[in-house]
Amino acid sequence: MSETLARIDPPFVVTDLLKRCMGNVAFLKRTLTKFQTRGMLDVDGLQRAISDGNHAEATRLAHSIKGIAANLSASRMYAVAGEIENFGRADRIDAATGMIDSLRAEVSRCVAFVPVAIAQFSDPVAEVTCAR
């Protein structure tokens, strides 16, 4: 584990993600880069759906964000997205309005951590070692 990681409270568990990527570092990097691009857009979409009172879309997006969090092993992001999803399923999506900021903060923390997570695998030797 690098010094940088030791200083930061990691918002997701890179080792879990690597296992879920079947040890494929190149795939892990692609996945995290995709999340970096998409993470905040999903939160924006969720916020819009809540404002529009679109329960179905808000529930779907919260479920999707929860799924991403589960794959990343991002426990806090998972918990907040899960609560919003539960409000949506209970037809009480308005009650989730106040939680959007918490979700945004968590997703933001995860997105900011992506370069740190990827940096662990910048050494080609380490990449080969981790991949197998």
Partner 1 sequence: MRALIVDDDEFSLDMLQNAMDALGYDVMTARNGREALQCVRDHPVRLVITDWEMPEMAGDEFCRQVRREDVDGYVYVIILTGRDHPEQKIIGLEAGADDLLTKPFNPAELTVRLKVAERILALETRDVALFALAKLAESRDPETGAHLERVQSYARLLTQTLATRPRYGRLITNEYVRLIYQTSPLHDIGKVGIPDAILLKPGKLDAEEFAIMKTHTALGAATLSAALDRFPSAGFLQLGRDIALTHHERFNGQGYPRGLAGENIPLCGRIVAVADVYDALTSKRVYKEAIPHPEARQIILSESGEHFDPEVVAAFVASEGEFLKIYARLANEAEEHPARLASKRKVA
Q: Which is nearer to partner 1, 73 or 120 (CB)?
A: 73
Paired tokens of 61: 């997006």
Q: Which residues bind partner 1 (CB under 8 A)?
A: 19-24, 27, 31, 34-35, 38, 60, 63-64, 66-68, 70-71, 73
Q: Which is nearer to partner 1, 23 or 115 (CB)?
A: 23
Judge contact between 77 and 103, C-beta under 8 A. Answer: yes
Please state the closest distance from residue 6 (CB atom) to partner 1, in A.
26
Please state the closest distance from residue 64 (CB atom) to partner 1, in A.
5
The label of the residue with tokens 């918002």 reads 11
Q: Which is nearer to partner 1, 3 or 121 (CB)?
A: 121
Please state the closest distance from residue 19 (CB atom) to partner 1, in A.
5
Please state the closest distance from residue 93 (CB atom) to partner 1, in A.
16
Residues 6+ apart with CB under 8 A from 80: 99, 102, 103, 106
Q: Which is nearer to partner 1, 63 or 104 (CB)?
A: 63
Measuring CA to CA, which residue among 87, 69, 89 is closest to residue 78?
69
How far apart are the C-alpha atoms of 105 and 41, rounded to whole Å? 13
Going 15 to 35 to 108 to 86, the CA torsion angle's sign is negative
